[in-house]
Structure 1
């Protein structure tokens, strides 16, 4: 099945992120301690959370590839959503740790100035993460993977964080050491913000939320299918990268079974042209016109 093939290809993006974060976090934490930069150390800790998050995504992609079984008749596609939920909690904990350490730095400033090397490390890290972001984004578009797309946006946010880190370090070098600690605060808030966003998206998926704009788009397409008279009901939910859609439409009550079945197939093909990772269930109802109200017959007068 194409969906499972795409999940396997999506592992490439997860492995690339893991390898990149391992290298960058090691370099940032080492140079951050040597060069006495709180902002670079915070950025390095941010990358350690990204390692854990990427591993969680990788595990989720692996489990999601398992075929349906007796206990999971719809498959295991939601495994990557659960993994994202776990990763969001891990990121939140580390973000709070960075926040607490930064606040302590405001009350008890070290008075040290970070070295120029730490700024160059931050700039180099931003460039590397931007390249990884472009790769994962291209991969996500190719295989239409929401998980890899989310990983790509996480790569982009890390590149922006590293740019902000470099700005803070340069400020500290030029005589404003508090800027370095303030930048660490900003990094902490960015980690927490990303964690909350990932958490919210995972919760939306696990509670069967469905994009309103997607409903409106598909509803218009369904109503334009030849033979559909009225769209009575539309329900949709996300199951990993798969959509399960249940709809009820009315058709001419005098159509035979073959003609009605043709309409259901056309609806399925129409929806899958919009998003091929869909499982569509169409329920057909006869379209009953309302009869005009009849006036009461009057008895003839005598």
Structure 2
């Protein structure tokens, strides 16, 4: 059974890697277009947006490596598998975002202190509009795949790219202000971009930390309701959940008639486990501790 589950998980990780590889190519194209033409036109906000897109590509690489390691089966030294390596990868993405945010903020400050006039033309608008539509496609595609495959790294990466869309729109608006005679808009928008990038990094970091510190992953009242559907159970308590969206682990205690045989109690526990796994998507394992809790059959 475990071998079948591992093979299914392996196929899933293969799909996730395929999606990340496809998006990596698009992110490289988008980032190069923005950075190269940003340098040609001396536009700080465009260069900043290009580096943000480049960090999207870097996060794809980190994600591919993390998923590859996560796909390894459980072994003697890692009996619970390597699933949290994916979570560590998302933390790496968040720190990458922090680094990019600081770099852009420093460059923006330098341009505010020593202003320069960017050369905004038709190609600036064209490059930004085309790359924005590419990013919209990436977000929709990656988010849909992330929810379908229950992959935290695809979902977090799509949020990263989604922030790139808002940033690109702000850069385009900045071009309009620059054309109207307000060149100071360029470094100011760059600085705002750095704050948005840092915010995205914090959101991703918080989600990853919740996984690492075993934060509650499901509504325990919901689980309690499922368990109490069994007539043989007189109470259910000490419900705990942990893990990540596609790999939730649950343990709980149930009380049954103290006169039940070991075989009968085991059968009840097994049926509870199966029902929770069937009813709730993303649940990987349920451990039921049976207690002699009733004086007579319920």
Q: Could you state the TM-score of these two structures normalised by the residue count of structure 1?
A: 0.89
What does residue 36 of structure 2 align with?
A: 30
Match of 1:62 in 2: 68
Counterpart in 2 of 1:196?
202
Give deviations 1:75-118, integer Å, cap 9, x for gaps. 11111111111222122111101011112222221133422321
133-142 or 57-66, larger mean C-alpha shift = 133-142
Partner deviation per Cα, 1:132-172 (whole Å, 9 max, x = no partner): 11111221232222222222222222222212221112221
1:223 pairs, out of 228, 242, 252, with: 228
SS of residue paired to 2:219: helix
Q: Deviation of residue 239 (structure 1)?
A: 5.5
Q: Which of these two proteins has the greater Rg computed from alpha carbons? A: 1
Question: What does residue 11 of structure 1 align with?
Answer: 17
3-state SS of 1:287 partner: strand
Secondary structure at 1:254 match in 2 = coil
Q: Secondary structure at the match of 1:33?
A: helix
In the TM superposition, what are the counterparts of 1:158-169 in structure 2 within 5 Å?
Answer: 158-169=164-175
Which SS does the other structure have where 2:16 is aligned? helix
Runs ≥4 residues deviating over 4 A: none
After superposition, what is the alpha-carbon deviation per residue over 1:220-244, rounded to whole angstroms, capped at 9, x for unaligned? 3223333222112112211683112
Counterparts of 2:187 and 2:250, CA distance in 1: 50
Instruction: Give the alignment partner of residue 151 of structure 1, picking from 152, 157, 176.
Output: 157
List aligned pairs for 1:71-86, cutoff 5 A: 71-86=77-92
Contact 1:77 1:240 in 2 (8 A): no
Q: Residue 64 of structure 1: CA displacement?
A: 0.5
Query: Aligned partners of 2:90, 2:99: CA distance in 1, in Å?
Result: 14
Indicate yes or no: 2:268 matched with 1:263: yes
Superposed CA offset, 1:231-290 (max 9, x none): 12112211683112111111122223333223212221222121244211100011146x
Q: What CA distance in whole angstroms lies between the structure 2 residues aligned with 1:277 and 1:20?
A: 33
Report the CA distance shift for 1:266/1:89 in structure 2 as closer, same or farther (over 3 A): same
Q: Structure 1: 5+ residue runs without aligned partners?
A: 290-302
CA distance in 1, matches of 2:66, 2:141: 20
- In 2, the alpha carbon distance for the partners of 1:90 and 1:169 equals 27
Judged with a 3 Å threshold, the aligned counterparts in structure 2 of structure 1 residues 240 and 217 are, in CA distance, closer, same or farther, namely closer
Separation (CA, whole Å) in 1 of partners of 2:55 and 2:196: 12
Number of aligned positions between the proteins: 288
Q: What is the aligned partner in structure 2 of residue 115 from structure 1?
A: 121
Q: Does 1:186 align with 2:192?
A: yes
- Equivalent residue number for residue 282 of structure 1: 288
Q: Is the 8 A contact 2:241 2:248 kept in 1?
A: yes
- Greater mean alpha carbon deviation, residues 254-263 or residues 22-31: 254-263
- Please say if residues 92 and 195 of structure 1, whose CA atoms lie closer than 8 Å, have aligned partners that are also in contact: yes
